[in-house]
Amino acid sequence: MSLAATVPFDDRYRQGASLTDLSPHLMREFLQEIGSELTAEAATLDAEALGWRMNVVGGPSEMAFPKNVGLLFFNEHPEQFFPATQIDVVYFPDGPGGDRFEEKEFRGPLGRIARDAVDYIARNYLKETVIKHPDRPQAERFWNYPLAAIEEAVVNAVYHRSYEIREPIEVRITPEELMVLSFPGPDRSIRMDDLQAGRAVSRRYRNRRIGEFLKELDLTEGRSTGILKVLRVMRANGSPAPVFESDDERSSFLIRLPVHEGFAGEVTEQVTQQVEALISASSGEMS
C-alpha cells in the first residue's frame, strides 16, 4: 500500500488490461521514429518482450501487466481505459455568443493526437500577414497565433493533465484569442506570478513517464521550459503577452493566447457586419 501511494499514475500497472492491449506495431513505429538502437531487434520481439525492454510492462514475470503509460501511447483506443483521453478543438467564428461553431475531436495514442490537433489548427486557423512599409525595404510578417506557442500549450496540457479526471483537453478558438484548457492546474509548489513571468520551475512532475516519451518524440524538452518558450515566441511574433490562469484549488489550467493586434481589425469588421445585418433584418420586418 505504501508503494502504491508513491508510484506516479502513469508508471502504475493496469490490472484491468492485458499485454494484448499493447500494440507491437505502435511500439515499433515509435522506436523507428526516435531512431532507437532497439528498432532492428524489435521486429523479432513479441508485445511482452518489447514491453519489458521499453519499460511499459511490469509486475511478476508469470503475471505481467501493461503500465498506464504504455496504454496511453501504444494502444489505438486509450480512452477505453482512461475516459476523456482526447483533445477537442472548437472554433467560434462569431465569438462564444454566436450561433455558429466548428468542432473536431482527436482520439488515439497521446503522441499522435498531440501532433494531429496542432496540425489541424495550423492548417485551418492560422493566418500570416505581410505589411510593406514605404520607409524601409523590410516587410513586416506576423501570424495571428504563432504555431510554436500553440504546440507548446497543447503538449503542455497533454503532459501535465490528470488522466484520472474525466475531462478532455479543450482548445477554444475565437477571433480574439486561442485558449487551451486542461485539468487539473499546476502543482501548488508553483506560484502563478512566477509562472506568468516565466520563472516557474516545477519541483514535482505529475506524469514523468509521459514526459519522457514526449521528449523522445521531440514534442517537449521536459525541463520546465514550455511556458518560457510560449512567452518568447509570442513576444517574437509581436503578439500580446499570453495569460496563464488557475483557481486557488488548482482545479484547472487555462492558457490564453491573444490574437496579434494586426488581426484585431477583423474582429471589429465582423461585429460591424453582424450589426448591419441585424439592422437590415429589422428594417425589412418593419416595412
The C-alpha atoms of residue 238 and residue 143 are separated, in whole angstroms, by: 9
The answer to whether residues 179 and 262 belong to one domain is yes
The answer to whether residues 149 and 218 belong to one domain is yes
The answer to whether residues 247 and 207 belong to one domain is yes
Distance of CA 82 to the CA centre of its chain: 17
Cell 494484448 -> residue: 20
106 is a domain residue: yes
Distance of CA 279 to the CA centre of its chain: 41
Q: What is the pLDDT of residue 275?
A: 41
The answer to whether residues 67 and 185 belong to one domain is no
Q: What is the pLDDT of residue 267?
A: 45
The answer to whether residues 100 and 209 belong to one domain is yes
Total domain count for the chain?
2
The range of the structural domain enclosing residue 34 comes to 2-78
What would the pLDDT profile of 110-121 be if each residue is shown by its tens digit? Answer: 999 999 999 999
User: Which DSSP symbol is given to 167?
Assistant: -
128 is a domain residue: yes
The answer to whether residues 6 and 107 belong to one domain is no
Closest by Cα among 242, 40, 273, 59 to 148: 242
Q: What is the CATH number of the domain that holds 195?
A: 3.30.565.60
Predicted TM-score (pTM) of the model is 0.86
Q: Centre a 10 Å sphere on the Cβ of residue 16 and count the other Cβ atoms it contains.
A: 11
What would the pLDDT profile of 122-140 be if each residue is shown by its tens digit? Answer: 999 999 998 887 777 777 8
249 is a domain residue: yes
The answer to whether residues 66 and 92 belong to one domain is no
The answer to whether residues 114 and 180 belong to one domain is yes
The answer to whether residues 29 and 135 belong to one domain is no
Helix spans in 7-46 (H): 24-34, 39-42
277 is a domain residue: no
The angle subtended at Cα 36 by Cα 30 and Cα 42, nearest 5°, is 70
220 is a domain residue: yes
Q: What is the pLDDT of residue 140?
A: 84
The answer to whether residues 238 and 108 belong to one domain is yes
The answer to whether residues 153 and 240 belong to one domain is yes
The answer to whether residues 118 and 242 belong to one domain is yes
Under-70 pLDDT residues of the chain = 1-5, 201-204, 222-224, 265-287
The C-alpha atoms of residue 263 and residue 175 are separated, in whole angstroms, by: 8
- Chosen domain end from 21, 44, 78: 78
Closest by Cα among 93, 90, 78, 149 to 120: 90
DSSP 170-217: EEEE-SSEEEEEESS---TTS-HHHHHHT----SS-TTHHHHHHHHHT
